[in-house]
Each structure stands twice: as C-alpha cells, then as structure tokens.
Structure 1
Amino acid sequence: MEEHEHLVPDQATVWARIEILAQIYRRRSLILRSAGSVVLSAGLVAGLVQMHTFIQGGVTALPPAATPSAVVPSSPPTTDPLPPPPEPTPSLPPGEVEMNAFFEAGYSWTEAEKLARLWNLHDPADAKIEAGRRLLDGENLPVRPPR
C-alpha cells in the first residue's frame, strides 16, 4: 500500500472540489426555482388578463325575469325595442349607466369591437360607453345586436 500512497489526492484538493460542486448544485437549484416562479407568475398574469377581458366583455347579472322568484306580468309588446333609460344613481361609477344600457340593448363585446373600429376608438370599452350614450339619447347604432 505504501507504494500507491502517492496516488491518493490531497485532502484540501478534494474538499475544494466538493465545495465547487456544491456551489454549482445550489446555483442550479436556485435557477430552477426561479424559472418555476417565473412560469407560475406568467400564468397568473395571463389568467388575470384573460379574466379582465372576460369581465370587460359583458358579463352582467341576470335580469329580474330570469330569477325563479320573480313574477313578470304579461303585457302587450311595445313598438320601442329599447328599454327606458335607467335613472343615474350617484353610487355608480362614471360610464356604468351607459354600459348597462349597451348590454341591456342586447349588444356584446364583439359589437363593441366593431363600433370601436367604426368610430376610430382604441378601446372597445370606450365604444361601449359611447354606444350607451347614443342608445340613451334614442339613437340607432350602425351595428345591430346579435339577437
């Protein structure tokens, strides 16, 4: 055995190599955790953007006639297809009355996008507000609802 003792590596060299490998493995672990966090964050942001777009697209509450407890008296059909404009309430944010009028008239996000292109507006939400104003004023819109 004494003949081969010169082949045994120095303990300091072995320990230095172990430290280098441990540092490499720690870096890899940190990079993988960071990459996983980035992917998770990107997924959350994409989900939030999609949810925001979905909510902006016209999800509204069910009208009272759609609830089972509401009883709707029968009345003759009116010639005016538009409902009477709702009274603005001070608790609603600006533009909410117009948007409600837009959706109650049967329009959706698709029509808002078409109107935004027609009126050269960048945001379909602005087109919804403008269309709601026009509907409340009794004007007809250049795009018909999908009904």
Structure 2
Amino acid sequence: MTEQPHRDQLREAFELHEDNTPDPAAVYARVQQLSQKYKRRRRGAQVAAGGVLGAGLIAGAINLPAFLPANNAATNTAAGVPAGAPAAKPSSSVPAAAGVDANLQAYAEAGYGYEDAGVLARLWKMNDDDRLAVKAEAGRRLLLGETLPFKPLPDTPAQEETISPEHDKQFQAFFNAGYTWDEAEKLAEIWKLADPADAKLEGGKRLLAGEELPVKPKKENVAAALETKRADAFWAAGYDAEDAEKLAKIWKLKDTWSAKVEAGKRLLAGQTLPIKP
C-alpha cells in the first residue's frame, strides 16, 4: 500500500471534523487558566510563558489542516493572521541649502547683481529687504530654462544714500513702533503709494504726530522693537560691551543683552546706572 491513500484518509478525517475545531478564544482562555496553576518566582516569567503557550495552541488549533500535503497553499493569512508588512523605506531628500546655492550660482553666472535683484523684487512683489531670496528665486527660474524680464543691468558705482534727519526720525518712529516691511506694503496699498518705503516715512510721520495707523503691528514685533530701542539708548549713552557684562553681574541677569535692555530702560526713564560708561 502506498503512502498516498494514508494521506487522503487523514485529509478526509480532518475535513469531516473541521467543524469541531475549538474556538480560538476559548482555547486561549483555558490556557491562561491552566497557566495560573504554575507559580513562578517571578511574575514576568509566568506571564511570558502563558502568552507564548496560548499563542502556540491557538495557531495549532486553527492551522492544523494546513500541514497536509494537499493544503500547501493554505497560509496564516488565510486563517486570519495578517502577513507582515514590508519595512518602510526611509525617505531621502536633498538638503534645501544645496538647492539655494545652485540657484544663487546660476543667478550670478548669468551676470545679474544686487541692483537687478531690487528691480526683480518690485516686479515680482517680493521683499526688497531680502534680496538674497529674490536672487534665489531668479536663479531657480533660470535653471528651469525661463527667461528673466530683463537683461542684466550694467554695473554702476555704488552711491551712498543720504537721508535727512527728518526722514531718519520718521523711519525710526515707524520701526520703533514694531512695524515691518509687511505692514509697509499694506499701508502703501491703503494710501495708494507706489513704494512701501514711502509708506514707512508717511507712517512714521503720522506716529510722531500722535496719530494711529490703519494697520496694527504684530505683538511680538512690538516687543522686539522696544528691546532694540532700549539697547540703542544704552549704546547712545556711551556704554560698551564690558559695561554690559558688569551690569549683568550687578543685576544678576542671565546675559549681556538683558543688561543692555534693562540699562536702556532705566536711562530712558531718566535714571542713573550704578556704573559710569
């Protein structure tokens, strides 16, 4: 008698009694109950042993027919146990700094310079105070094969811009109130001004006159501007970095910047500092 009839008989027997397979949950509960009878010195070993034994019996109760030769196609997935998910591949990304450097290099190699960035900032309505970002954007477009709105401007000698004391006072009033370029652009639209720089002057002029502007500055910018104003008062009084270190020790402050701000605050209030400049 060959081996194949025995296998067929076994398979038929399992298929006949397949409905009698115990409930996996009941098997696991029984295993847990039995495992409680065997006390170990350490609770952790008992739990681990019961868990492993229970998992093995459940798997055996469910997958026993799968060991027959004719059922080689049956897998744990068919029994309700999900297959292991493939490991996720780590994402790779090129550092942003490398792209910016390439953009800036393309901009420079095309012959464009600082003045060109100022013109592009106005055309593209970008921040003229951040011409590095304008250059990077222009370089990015050049690398994509685009043509910029104009050819590089001829190099001209740099000219120092002079500003009147009145305008300087207006600028200082604008920035000391916590306003930035973003607010200047909004004010330029409201007042129908072509250049946000003119909006800064107009805003500073109105602030010095005690008027309120139609746009409010951000709270964090107001706080930063106040600190800068106080630090400027510290320097304007003739104090230096060594004085700031001494004051930080006297007032038990964490850093010299805090000492400069505190000193400027007291000076603006008409107080005298404990040391001379």
TM-score (ref. length: structure 1): 0.43
* Greater Rg over alpha carbons, structure: 2
TM-score (ref. length: structure 2): 0.24
